[in-house]
Amino acid sequence: MQTILTQAFSAFLTRSLSTTAVAATLAFALSSTATPLAAQGLFSPAVTVDSAAITNYELQQRALFMGVLRTPGNPEVMAREELIKDRLKLAALAKVGINPSDEDITTGMTELAGRANLSLNEFLTVLKQNGIEPETVRDFTRVGLGWREYVSARFLARARPTESEIDRAMGQAGSGGVQVLLSELIVPINEQNVEQVQQLTDQVGQLRSYDAFSAAATQYSASDSRTQGGRLAWMNLTKLPPQLQPVVLALDPGEITEPLPLQGAVAMFQMRGVREVTGSSQRFAAIEYASYYIPGGRSAEALAEGRRIASTLDSCDDLYGLAKGQDQAVLDRKSLVPAEIPQDIAIELAKLDPNETSLTLTRNQGQTLMLLMLCGRTAELGEGESRETVANALTQQRLASFSDSYLEQLRADAQIIEK
């Protein structure tokens, strides 16, 4: 239901930024935005959508705004596309009498500014200083509020999943499940690099494109997935740690999680896709795994030794022979319910099939490399993620689909003339 711009706006404002940081972000973004249109003809129509005009001034303002948000693509091209959609939406809203009140719009703008820890006046002042008028944000908010109400009223009854559809999405009765397509960035952290990691995660959190996140993962991530730009394969939602499942489901495509604290590292995930699939999607009563500890942390020598050992293993039982004669603490094998597994280990296990290994994690403040091996998973028939969480995710996914399809229909029926 949300446009790319709406998603970017929401994600941008949810970051906890100071007024100075916001101003710096705006100034940087504006430096890469296309040159504004000449003053001559600024208020002349650039596009007409049926009888509604889009002026050069509006295109300029939206392009500046999208530049601030680092929306993927050429800001001028994307501004034109989004404003055409806005005119189609406004025409549909007018037909059914939906018109958010000034109070609702102000409340919406205030809430958005508040997510950036700014008052509305502070937020609008920063935008004004960088050439973006308050009316641009007001119009943007008005369309967003009205269209959300319209789509909900028109399509919500059809979008709500049935009980059997929720069962299928949760993988009950072996008939289906929810899969997610994620990219990850996992960065080691210690007392010496806390500030650098904080700066890095702040910058990554403001990225808006898949390629930019992938480039950051390739350069900074400690996970094996960095060789694929942090991109993970489709995975069943139920393989993720229980506490991470609702966080992931709440993401829009392209959106990035807040930094998640792990032991000796922080992780960030970018949503690339969600889908319902047929076939079994099991939940697990217990997961068995083994951890073999190698001195040297993530040094080249320790990693080489870890890869050598991993190449000799066929199953977790092989680790007993490897650990024979050493301190008992060198090998740790456990079988735990998913909620009891440390989150960093659970995230790595989610990416593994039985008897596969990972060399991403460390212990002892980064001084010890962990060779992690998945021994097996024990399936259960009980609840995985909550029914309410899955139902909401399915509803929002379907509302977005209905909204996109209806907009395409409106566009096909409209007379759009570009100057």
Question: For the chain (length 419 residues), average pLDDT per consecutive 10?
Answer: 40 36 39 44 90 94 80 82 95 95 93 77 86 92 95 92 74 59 93 91 90 94 93 89 87 91 91 78 80 95 96 93 92 90 93 94 92 86 60 83 88 90
Residue at which a domain ends, from 246, 281, 316: 281
- If asked whether residues 36 and 123 sit together in one domain, one would say yes
Query: What does the pLDDT read at residue 393?
Result: 79
Task: Give bridge partners of residue 278 from the DSSP assignment.
Answer: 176
Instruction: Give the model's pLDDT for residue 16.
Output: 31
Cα separation, 207 vs 414, in Å, equals 34
In a domain, 394, yes or no: no
376 plus 330 within the same structural domain: yes
Both 203 and 105 in a single domain?
A: no
- The verdict on residue 166 lying in a domain is no
Domain assignment present for residue 362? The answer is yes
DSSP state of 192: T
Q: Which of 258, 281, 304 is the C-terminal boundary of a domain?
A: 281
- Is the pTM for the entire model greater than 0.75? no
What stretches of 18-167 adopt beta strand conformation (E)? Answer: 45-49, 52-55
pLDDT at 199: 93
- Check residue 240 and report its DSSP letter: S
Q: How far apart are CA 79 and CA 54, in angstroms?
A: 11
Query: Do 308 and 237 share a structural domain?
Result: no
Q: Of 249, 281, 313, which closes a domain?
A: 281
The DSSP output letter for 256 is B
d(CA 135, CA 413): 29
In sequence order, which residues have a C-beta less than 8 Å from that of residue 288 and are 6 or more positions away? 316, 333, 334, 335, 374, 375, 376, 377, 378
Residue 226 lies in a domain: yes
> Could you give the 3-state DSSP secondary structure of residue 357?
strand
Asked if residue 64 belongs to a domain, the reply is yes
CATH code assigned at 9 = 1.10.4030.10
Q: How far is CA 164 from the centre of its chain?
A: 28
Secondary element (H or E) of residue 304:
helix 300-311
Strands (E) across 129-198 are located at 176-188
Residue with tokens 């007001």: 138
51 and 144 share one domain = yes
Which structural domain range is residue 356 located in? 283-380
Assigned domain for 410 exists: no
102 lies in the same domain as 180: no
Contact between 109 and 135 (Cβ < 8 Å): no
Residue ranges of the alpha helices (H) in 184-228? 194-205, 210-220
Cβ pair 322, 412 in contact under 8 A: no
Does residue 254 sit in the same domain as residue 342? no
Q: Are residues 148 and 247 in the same domain?
A: no
One domain, residues 298 and 375 = yes
* 93 and 199 in a common domain: no
- Say if 203 falls within a structural domain: yes
Residue among 151, 61, 138, 56 nearest 100 (CA): 138
**Tell me, what CATH number does 246's domain have?**
3.10.50.40
The verdict on 316 and 370 lying in the same domain is yes
Instruction: Tell me the C-alpha distance between 264 and 362, whole Å.
Output: 7
How far is it, in rounded angstroms, from Cα 356 to Cα 343? 18
Q: What pLDDT does 21 receive?
A: 40
Coil/strand/helix, residue 257:
coil
User: Residue 395 domain-assigned?
Assistant: no
Same structural domain, 354 and 336: yes
Domains identified in the chain, total number:
3
